[in-house]
């Protein structure tokens, strides 16, 4: 399973039942959060996403609608007696803000909080099979997109064959990585006999907030899915530029030029009640577009 669940799809001010930006990325190795607008903790409860499964939180930039809900979640983890390590990835000054808020509350966290600063784009970390990199977007303040890429997909076990050859379950993870199996008689059974080939490795890019910006294309190209913001409809391209945001058609052009398979759009301005035109305008440029709807999980 490699998918993204949308918790919030609205820009700045909450409106029409829509919440500020937050996504959950589910991988074979655990769950990541990307951005953390206020109130998304309650969204996680509503959508029955187990908070304890979150191992990493990525914050794209320090506009409030992308991180004001972070401190509340960290606090809840403390109150729920989390012990497992949590890693936060974000602009370096975020660590100062978090530390100050825990200091004034006299809170000592029961879990290890690791902080990985993102002050320029590039490699961040690898979690199990997923390599994570960041790239700068063109926003009013420093802002980063994130690319989540399966390093190599695991080969698929052929259960009938492994049963026939009595391969113990404990050896399966070696098989998935391509190892041959030596049975009790010393006979070597080639990996190709016991597994089928892995599918191609998948790639998801979260393009955060920002203006239309072709320099991001090299980072996201060929992705199976990207999320790109569409704060405004096409007729407000001037306003989008002035406010360092993008329109429907601009998001479509980025997806088209980057040769991605699917485009997810969100960060809708609070001035729009209906989202229909966001979808139709973007699909005119890039047909494989979907609205990022809250509570929906999109397979990558």
**Which token pair is 238?**
């001037």
The correct pick among 76, 119, 126, 280 for binding a second copy (CB under 8 A) is 76
81 secondary structure, DSSP code: T
Residue of the chain from 105, 188, 242, 293 that contacts a second copy (CB under 8 A): 105
Dist. CA 224–CA 87, nearest whole Å: 26
Contact residue for a second copy among 47, 95, 97, 236 (CB under 8 A): 97
Smallest distance from a second copy to CB 66, Å: 10
Binding pattern to a second copy, positions 3-42, x when CB under 8 A?
---------xxxx---x------------------xx-xx
Indicate which single residue of 1, 81, 106, 160 sits in contact with a second copy (rule: CB under 8 A).
106
Query: Hey, how many other C-beta atoms are within 10 angstroms of the C-beta on 153?
Result: 16
Single residue of 68, 172, 241, 298 touching a second copy by CB under 8 A:
68
Residue 200, both tokens: 């191609």
Q: Is 79 in the site for a second copy (CB under 8 A)?
A: yes
Query: Do 111 and 87 contact (CB within 8 A), yes or no?
Result: no
Cα distance between residue 210 and residue 228, in whole Å: 9
Interstrand relation of 225-229 and 262-266 (parallel, antiparallel or unpaired)? parallel
Residue closer to a second copy (CB basis): 65 or 131: 65
CB of 186 to a second copy, least distance (A): 57
Q: Is 65 considered catalytic here?
A: yes
Can you tell me the distance from the alpha carbon of 14 to that of 163, in angstroms, rounded to the nearest whole number? 54
Single residue of 125, 138, 140, 153 touching a second copy by CB under 8 A: 140
Nearer to a second copy, 141 or 293 (CB): 141
What pairs with residue 297 in β-bridges? 5
- Angstrom CA distances, 277 to 205, 211, 248, 284, 289, stand at 24, 20, 9, 11, 12
Q: Which residue from 45, 159, 188, 242 is in contact with a second copy, where contact means CB under 8 A?
A: 45
DSSP-assigned letter for residue 221: T
Beta-carbon contacts of 296 under 8 Å, excluding residues fewer than 6 positions away, are: 5, 6
**Strand (E) or helix (H) holding 96:** helix 93-104
> For residues 24 and 205, which CB has a smaller minimum distance to a second copy in the complex?
24
CB of 30 to a second copy, least distance (A): 22
Among candidate residues 35, 65, 209, 224, the one labeled active-site is: 65
Query: Could you tell me the two tokens for 259?
Result: 């040769």
Residues that bind a second copy (rule: CB under 8 A) add up to a total of 34
Q: Please check whether residue 239 is in contact with residue 202, taking contact to mean a CB–CB distance below 8 angstroms.
A: no
Confirm or reject binding of residue 242 to a second copy (CB under 8 A): no
In the block, tokens 């000592």 appear at 108
113 part of the interface to a second copy, by CB under 8 A: no
Instruction: Give me the active site residues, please.
Output: 65
Applying CB under 8 A, which residues contact a second copy?
A: 12-15, 19, 38-39, 41-42, 45, 62-65, 68-69, 71-72, 75-76, 79-80, 91, 93-94, 96-97, 100-101, 104-106, 140-141
């Amino acid at each position: 399973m490699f998918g993204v669940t949308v918790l919030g799809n609205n820009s700045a001010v909450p409106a029409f039942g829509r919440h500020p930006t937050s996504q959950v990325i589910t991988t074979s190795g655990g769950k990541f959060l990307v951005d953390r607008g206020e109130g998304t903790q309650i969204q996680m409860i509503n959508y029955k996403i187990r908070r304890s499964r979150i191992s990493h939180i990525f914050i794209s930039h320090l506009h409030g609608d992308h991180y004001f809900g972070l401190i509340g979640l960290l606090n809840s983890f403390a109150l729920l007696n989390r012990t497992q390590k949590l890693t936060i990835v974000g602009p370096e000054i975020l660590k100062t803000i978090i530390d100050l808020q825990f200091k004034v509350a006299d809170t000592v966290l029961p879990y290890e909080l690791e902080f990985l600063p993102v002050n320029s784009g590039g490699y961040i970390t690898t979690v199990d099979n997923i390599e994570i990199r960041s790239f700068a977007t063109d926003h009013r303040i420093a802002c980063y997109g994130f690319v989540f890429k399966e390093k190599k997909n695991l080969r698929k076990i052929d259960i009938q064959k492994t049963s026939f050859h009595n391969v113990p379950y404990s050896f399966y993870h070696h098989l998935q990585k391509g190892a041959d199996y030596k049975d009790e008689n010393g006979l070597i059974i080639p990996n190709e006999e016991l597994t089928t080939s892995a599918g191609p490795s998948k790639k998801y890019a979260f393009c955060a907030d920002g203006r239309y910006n072709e320099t991001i294309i090299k980072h996201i190209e060929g992705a199976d899915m990207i999320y790109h913001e569409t704060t405004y409809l096409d007729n407000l391209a001037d306003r989008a530029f002035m406010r360092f945001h993008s329109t429907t058609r601009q998001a479509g052009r980025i997806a088209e030029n980057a040769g991605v398979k699917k485009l997810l759009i969100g960060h809708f301005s609070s001035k729009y009640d209906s989202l229909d035109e966001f979808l139709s305008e973007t699909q005119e440029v890039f047909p494989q577009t979907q609205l990022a709807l809250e509570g929906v999980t999109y397979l990558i």
